Structure 1
Amino acid sequence: MNKTVILDFDNSTGTIPDAVRIELGQWQEAIRFGCSQACFSQLKQELEQKLPEHYGTVLMGSGDYHHVSLLLIKRLQEYFGATKPIEVVIFDNHPDNMRYLFGIHCGSWVSYVAQLPFVSHVHVLGITSKDIGLAHSWENRLAPLFQGKLTYWNMDVKIGWAKKIGLSHAFRSFASPEELVSAFIQTQQRNTRPVYVSIDKDVLAKDVVQTNWDQGRMQLNHLLSVINSLNQRIIGSDITGEVSQWEYTSWLKRMLSAMDKQEPIPEATLSAWQQQHHAVNQQLLSALVQHPQTTR
C-alpha cells in the first residue's frame, strides 16, 4: 500500500501513522497564498527530489497551499500523458479559477490544470462562494469554461450572467448538497477515465470543521459518497484546508490576506479546530486508501 505523504509547510497536520512527512517550513512565507512562477518552479524541483517514487494521498496543510495540487497533478503526465486522459474532481467552496497578476495562487490554479493536455475535464464541486457571482464574474478565467474543460457545481449563487453569455453548460446549480452529489454521481456512471481527487475542506459546513476561509454546505458523508462512487478510477488524491495561522512579512500578502478577512485565531481555539480536522482526515484517508493510486 502506498503511504500517505504530508507536505509540512505549516505544522497544521496531525500525526498520521506510517505517513512520510516532508519538512517544508522554510517555504511557508514564499509559497503560502501565492507566489511567482519562478518560485513555484523552485518548489517543483525540491518536491521532485523529496517525494517518494510511489505514494498515496498527499496532505498539504492550509488551503492557502491548494495551488501545490497543480504540481502533484503534473507528475501524473508521465503515466497518462500519452495514453488515457484523466479527469480532476475538486471539492472546494471556491472556483480557484480566478485571475492573479503576480504568478499563481491558491485561487487561480484550476485554470492551469484545465490547460494540461492530458486532463480532459475539471469538476469543482460544492461552490457557494460569491466568486462565481456577477460582481466577481470578470475575475473568473472564462476560457476553460467556454472550452468545455471546466464545470462549476454550485449552490446558493445567482449565475444568470453566465447563462447570458452562453455558459449554461459550465454552471450546474442545485438547491442542496444532496441534489448536487446525486447529479454528479449520475453523470459519472458510465465514465471510465482515471480520476485525481483534490479536497479543500472549506467545502464542508462549519458544523463539521472550521477553516480560515468562508465555507460551504457539504457534510462529510457527501464527500465520502462521491469518493466511493468513483471506486477504482482514483489514481491520485490530496487533502488541504487545515486551519493554521501565519504572519506574513510581505506587505502584499498581508494586504491580500486582510482583504480575505482571515482573522487571528486564539491558540486554544486553533488547537481544538485542528483536532476536528484530524478526525475528518482519518475518515477521508480511510475512504481514499480503498482505491489503488498510481503516482510517479
Structure 2
Amino acid sequence: MRLVIADIDGALPRQAPIASLITSGSAERIDLTDLAPSLRLVASKSAMREFLRRIGPRAASSDCEVFFYGSGDFHHLTAGLVSRVSEPLTILHFDNHPDWVRFPRTMNCGAWVNRALELPQVQKVVTIGPASDDLVRPQWKTANLRAIRDNRLEVHAWRAPPTKLWGKPLDAPGVATHDGRLVWRNLQDQDWATAFDDILARLPAGAVWVTIDKDVLGPEEAYTNWDQGAMPLALVLDALKRTAARRRIVGVDICGDYSKPKFRDPFRAFLSLTDRARVPEPGAQDMARNAWANDAILKTLGLLVGRSHDRATAVTEGGRQKGMEGGAPRSARSGTQAEAARTRAFPQSASLAAKAFAPPRPVKEEMRPI
C-alpha cells in the first residue's frame, strides 16, 4: 500500500491525522504547492506532466495506491493518476457533481470524466451520489449523455428531480425516460445495500479505481469549495467495504477539502467566480469536520488493506489458482499476519468507530418536476 499526500494547496498537512501519518513515515508527502495555480480548476498540459513526474510511475506490483490531494478544484487529477495504470479498470466515482461536461475539451474539474473515458484502459465510469443541479436539464449544460447510452457511464443520483429531455429517450441503470422527462432513480429512496450490490454486479470484469470528492457529503460531515450533496459518509465507507469484498481495488483518490482559491491569471479567477457560489471561509469547527471525514476514510482503508487484493489470488492460470499454497489461499494462511500488514500500512487504523457505519437518518424530500 502506497499512501501519498499530494500537498497542492496546503489543506492536508494541517489536519492532525494526516500530519501524524506524514511524521511517522506512514505517508509520503509530495510538495506540489508551486503547481497549484496551473492545476486549479483547469490543468495546463505542462503542469499535468510535471504533476505526474513528481508522483512517479505506478509500481510494478499490484499494490493499491491511495492519494489525498486537497480541494475538489483538483479533481481532474484523477484522470492523470488513472492514466498510470496499465490494466483494464472501472472508476467508481463518488461526487455531488457528475463532472461530465463535453465543453471545453480540457483537463478541468467539471469534465475530467470524459478525459478518463478517453483512456484505453478505462472501461467504464460509475458516478454515485450527485444531488446538484447538473442533473437538471443536463443537455443545456453539455452533459455527456451519449456515454450513458453507450454503457460507458452510469450516473446514480442521490436525489434529483425529474427534468426535461429533448430527443431520443434515455433508459439505463440509474435513469429512465417517462413522458419526455428524465427520471433519476434516486438512491435515497432505495435500499442502499441492494442498490449498491446491483451496481457492483454490473461492473465489467477487471480492477477498480475509487475516487471520492467529499462534496458528495452533507455540510455536517465536510466543508468544501463547492455546493454539497447529502450522501452520508457511512454509506461511502460501506461502499468501500463492499467493493473491496468483491473486487480488486488498485487505487483510491480523495479530494474535497477546503482551500482558499488563489489565481495568477484572470481566466481561472473568472471561472471560479462564475461557475460556483461563493463559500465563506471556514472556521476551526468546519475544518475539523474535514479532518474527521479523512480520518474515517483512512481507518476504513486501513482495515481493508490486502482484502481486495486477496481477490486476485482467485485468478486461474494454467489450471491452478494463483496464490494457492498447499490448497489454501494466501488470504487464509494467517489472520494475524494480515492484521499486522494492515496496521503497518495505517498505524491509526486499529479500529473504526461504530458510528461511521451507523445507518443514516432517512431523508425524505418531495421532488418536484423541473
How does the TM-score come out when normalised to structure 2?
A: 0.70
In structure 2, C-alpha distance between the alignment counterparts of 1:115 and 1:177, rounded to whole Å = 31
Q: 1:68 to 1:128 in 2, by over 3 A?
A: same
Matched, 1:211 2:224: yes
Q: Deviations over 1:39-72 (max 9, x none)?
A: 32333233327x8776631001000010011111
Is the aligned partner of 1:157 residue 2:170?
A: no
CA distance in 1 between counterparts of 2:166 and 2:156 reads 14
Moved more, 157-166 or 23-32: 157-166
- SS of the aligned residue for 1:168 comes to coil
**Residues in 2 aligned to 1:184 and 1:137: alpha-carbon distance in whole angstroms:** 29
Aligned: 1:252 with 2:261: no
Q: What is the 5 A alignment of 1:87-98? A: 87-98=90-101
**What amino acid sits opposite 1:126 in the alignment?**
G
Secondary structure, aligned partner of 2:252: strand
Unaligned runs of 5+ in 1: none
Structure 2: which 5+ runs fail to align?
A: 176-183, 310-370
1:42 counterpart = 2:50? yes
Aligned to 2:188: 177
Please tell me whether the aligned partners of residues 227 and 277 of structure 2 are also in contact (alpha carbons under 8 angstroms): no
- Confirm or deny: 8 A CA contact 1:210 1:243 kept in the other structure: yes
How far off its partner does 1:261 sit?
A: 3.5
CA–CA distance in 2 between the matches of 1:199 and 1:12?
16
Match of 1:239 in 2: 254
Query: Match for residue 31 of structure 1?
Result: 39
Q: Does the aligned pair in 1 maintain the 2:123–2:152 contact within 8 Å?
A: yes
Contact 2:215 2:226 in 1 (8 A): yes
Q: 2:199 aligns with which of 182, 187, 196?
A: 187
What is the alpha-carbon distance in structure 1 between the residues aligned to residue 89 and residue 287 of structure 2?
Answer: 32
**Are 1:166 and 2:164 matched, yes or no?**
no
Q: CA deviation at 1:178?
A: 6.2
Cα distance change on mapping 1:163 and 1:188 into 2, 3 Å: farther
Which one of 56, 61, 65 corresponds to residue 65 of structure 2?
56
Q: Does 1:122 align with 2:125?
A: yes
Give the 3 Å change call, closer, same or farther, for CA 197–167 of structure 1 in structure 2.
same
Q: Which amino acid aligns with 2:28?
A: V
**Aligned alpha-carbon RMSD (Å):** 2.5
Letter in 2 for 1:166: P
Aligned to 2:244, what secondary structure does the other structure show?
helix
Q: Which has the larger radius of gyration?
A: 2
1:70 aligns with 2:79: yes
Quick one: distance in 2 between partners of 1:262 and 1:8? Answer: 25
Post-superposition CA distance 1:14-63 (Å, at most 9, x none): 224121100000001110111233432333233327x8776631001000
Instruction: Letter of the 2:99 partner, please give it.
Output: D
Q: Which protein has greater RCO, CA pairs closer than 8 Å, 6+ apart?
A: 1
| Identical pairs, percent | 26
Q: 1:180, 1:149 → 2: CA distance?
A: 25
CA shift for structure 1 position 3: 3.6
Question: Retained in 2: the 8 A contact 1:12–1:244?
Answer: yes
Question: How much has 1:221 moved relative to structure 2?
Answer: 0.8
Output the CA distance in 1 between the equivalents of 2:50 and 2:92.
26
Q: Secondary structure at the match of 2:126?
A: strand
Q: Which residue is 1:22 aligned to?
A: 30
Instruction: Give the distance between the partners of 1:178 and 1:9, measured in 2 at CA.
Output: 37
